[in-house]
Amino acid sequence: MSFEDSSRIVDPSLRSSPPTALVTGGGRGIGRGIVHALARAGFAIGLTYRSGSEAAQQTVSEALSLGAPQAWSVAADSGDLTTVETVTHEVASRFGRLDLLVNNAGMAPRVRSDVLETTPESWDEVMNANLKGVFFLTQRLARLMMTQPLHPELEAAQIHFIGSISADHVSLNRVEYCVSKAGIATIARAFALRLADSPIRVVELRPGLIRTDMTERVADLYTQRIRDGLVPIPRWGTPEDVGRVVAQLARSPLPYATGVVLPLDGGLHLQRL
Question: Which residues carry out catalysis?
Answer: 177
Q: Work out the burial of residue 263: count CB atoms within 10 Å of its CB; fewer than 13 is exposed, 13-18 middle, 19 or more buried.
A: middle
For the chain, the maximum distance between any two Cα atoms, rounded to a whole number of angstroms, is: 58
Tell me the one-letter amino acid at 55: A
**How far apart are alpha carbons 163 and 262 in whole angstroms?**
10
CA–CA distance from 264 to each of 54, 103, 207, 209 (Å)?
29, 16, 4, 9
d(CA 121, CA 127): 10
Query: Phi-psi category of 52—alpha, beta or left, where left has phi over 0 and alpha has psi -120 to 50?
Result: left
Among residues 23, 24, 18, 65, the alpha carbon closest in space to that of 44 is found at 18
Distance between CA atoms of 177 and 123, rounded to whole angstroms?
8
